[in-house]
Amino acid sequence: MHDQWTESSLPDNNIGLRNLLEYIHKSRGIDFTLYRFSTFRRRLELRLAETSTHNYREYLEYLRSHPDEIDIFIQAVTIKLSNFFRDPLVYEFLYSYVLPEMLTGNHFLNIWSVGCARGEEPYSLAIMIHDLRKLTKKSCDVKILGTDIDPEALKQAMKGEYCEDDLFEVKKKYLDTYFTRTQNSGRTHTTALFRISDEIKSMVTFERADIINSGKLRDTLSNNYQLILCRNVLIYVNRNFQEKVQSNLSEMISENGYLVTGETETLAGSLRDFFIQTFPEKKIFKKKPLGAGR
């Protein structure tokens, strides 16, 4: 099978688990054997407990007889942790250097947020770009694509409603300009909800896409992104696979375009000759023009 599996790999001798993941792969095309087992084991076991199944074999039987459970499984084992302007310094660099440069040099911007969870990342970018366009009076068209593997997360992204906890990094001027406060009445208490403005919503489209199939995505999506953010997604997959995905993404970035990874991720060694790390302390990589220094 996959010889790149490490200590966080699937246990070789667990036939029940392998059959379960194979079934999910066949049904939904998502290959969880490429994920680090340690990142989803606890969540999978919780799912077993919640479905009153006692082992992977029983859970597979449950999946076969409850087709809705596959989406619940995907939702449960993928980690959706995100918030608006997550890691604010990255956004400061994007706002102060990267986006102004891109708005000046292009009439059209193509941006992709890979593993966009509930839309926090692509909407944060849309807010900053909207603000910058107003300030600089640049009339650049912008298309931001947010993709994720989890259909439920995407549904929420399209809805564009967030609670206060998701917005703690949002500056007050952005909160006042780009969100409307509404109420969410639950059974026990009422919480504040913030709805993103239609103007910001219209800058972002969402699509379900599995980054594991990045080779295929390379053939179907644009090959001319000026900016791709792939943050806190590849930490969950095996190292060899991270490199493969990054390599596919890098081919989809235009010359002088940017790739942003998460704080604890970095650019694969084989790609370092093709990018410069523009801000040493942040994981923002600029693609060199063809032929430059390679």
Ligand X SMILES: C[S@@+](CC[C@H](N)C(=O)[O-])C[C@H]1O[C@@H](n2cnc3c(N)ncnc32)[C@H](O)[C@@H]1O
Could you list the residues that contact ligand X (CB under 6 A)?
78-82, 86, 115-117, 121, 148-150, 153, 210-212, 231-233, 262
CB 229 within 8 A of CB 113: yes
Measured from each CB, the residue nearest to ligand X is 115
Q: What is the smallest separation between the CB atom of 79 and ligand X, expressed in angstroms?
A: 5
Q: What is the smallest separation between the CB atom of 118 and ligand X, expressed in angstroms?
A: 7
Q: What is the smallest separation between the CB atom of 202 and ligand X, expressed in angstroms?
A: 21
261 closest CA partner among 121, 105, 108:
121
Choose between 39 and 278: whose C-beta lies nearer to ligand X.
Answer: 39
Choose between 133 and 218: whose C-beta lies nearer to ligand X.
Answer: 218
Tokens of 283: 């994981």
Dist CA 119 CA 155 (whole Å) = 9
Q: What is the smallest separation between the CB atom of 30 and ligand X, expressed in angstroms?
A: 7
Choose between 78 and 110: whose C-beta lies nearer to ligand X.
Answer: 78
Q: What is the smallest separation between the CB atom of 9 and ligand X, expressed in angstroms?
A: 17
Choose between 25 and 133: whose C-beta lies nearer to ligand X.
Answer: 25
Choose between 27 and 182: whose C-beta lies nearer to ligand X.
Answer: 27
Q: What is the smallest separation between the CB atom of 265 and ligand X, expressed in angstroms?
A: 10
Choose between 113 and 226: whose C-beta lies nearer to ligand X.
Answer: 113
